[in-house]
Structure 1
């Protein structure tokens, strides 16, 4: 199969979906790989490295889409990319299209087969851990007085208490946030619905200023928090929130909310996705930082993790074809959004109120 790697077009996105080393493995397996020029430049992977791995370099995205059948990306389609689609294309990318009708309709109208990485690889550990760490660093920076924060120092000095942080969700992203915040000396409380996650966090951080609490206790801790990090990816069918707009009124003036999940009105009711160009906004005196593509701030590490994470999926689709691969692997089947203009993903159908065709019926 011919695999295409176009350059990412999302603003401030510096990642590339496949590194030269994974491209080389695909070539060795008998596949062809076409890479748009400078796709990996921001992550430290030159065209020369891709050529050495056996890839062909294309001068444009148009050339990649024209030659390749399997298109591999980090993010959903951007700018003119939908116009380049043909029904025979297979798309593998982070799509997040259940709650985005326009994005979903684009895939269906093009008649392509599309897989959502976020449903195939669970959790998205390669991206999540970096998101948690970078989000924590940004949150600490925004606490400083010049940025409008509470001005409390992250570590305790001169008999003063350190800044207080709350981490909501103790999965991969939450653990990354804990590593940064506790490493800096902050006072941290972690929240989760899973008793096992809470107990594991306690075992991971003995002797630190850390407590693990059930998520039901979160509201009572908000008034004392300087920084809140949400690391919970919210179910698109839910209409409730862990942190409501009304709760902001009980928080400190200058407190910061970092929404690593960046779900619009998700776990945090007042969350709206932002970009690195304009990363923050304020609601009731509370700074919100909700940048969607946090890992892109460390493009080499993020690209390495993403490429390793999706390689087996790319190889399976290239070897067996989209539908056969989805039938062979339950994870791939779970991530199949559409095929030949038919909606296959039950979750997207439920959110959008559409009918769907199960994988078994294709």
Structure 2
């Protein structure tokens, strides 16, 4: 009798910014079924300009995730990532990939179908799902009671954020929803990974979509948060690792985070170039008692990569730990059969 084909473990990675591709590039080498759920609430840089011109989902984060999971040769990827440096008023600063995503979004009447088609063209190994099929706006209430709309404006305010939520950028009074494929991926996952990335502007915009938050509260998958190494100016200054988790759980109105990955390797004094990496504030302090009080399993290890006078996650070390945690889930499931 022919052996039944082995089912590949399903991992959903959620976030945005520069942290998500770091994990995905290393995860691609593992024998897992990857789904990346990418924020659509960015309004800065080339993405923001294109969004204002043609009213499509900002493509920058999606472009970087496509490249991270693509099987195309380097030349094609370099072309897709190429950013114009001409003095032309429109093209200067735009990445070719952003323009392609914007064009396909218009052709296919939405970002979701466009990304699926482009993923096939780019030979993506895995699934890339925009968190919503329409552009969203990030809103924030600060501790002083004031509010702002727009990811870049919220970060630039440099005020303590109390709460964030998302609204459709081109509709009034309607709650944003993720497409069913996103919800199905969350509900059938073996492991869900949040981060690394900006807490309020890269991770929470995904979770604040109503049916996404509901799915995270109901999923049987292990939900893992990769805690940031450095606090972020204008977002998480003076935060401990427990504070990061507390914000996630409070926004989801439930202790959703099962496991948190915490870097314990010290960033050398005077290493960080704070002018170049002006969003970095200081290294995140540890509060293991506060994490345990929220029901978290804590995995603390050296996840640090020092490069270009900045502190980042070492994608290989993080993915190795994710695979170790996934193996523990597989072992428990096998024992239960």
- Tell me the TM-score normalised to structure 1 length: 0.34
Bigger radius of gyration: 1
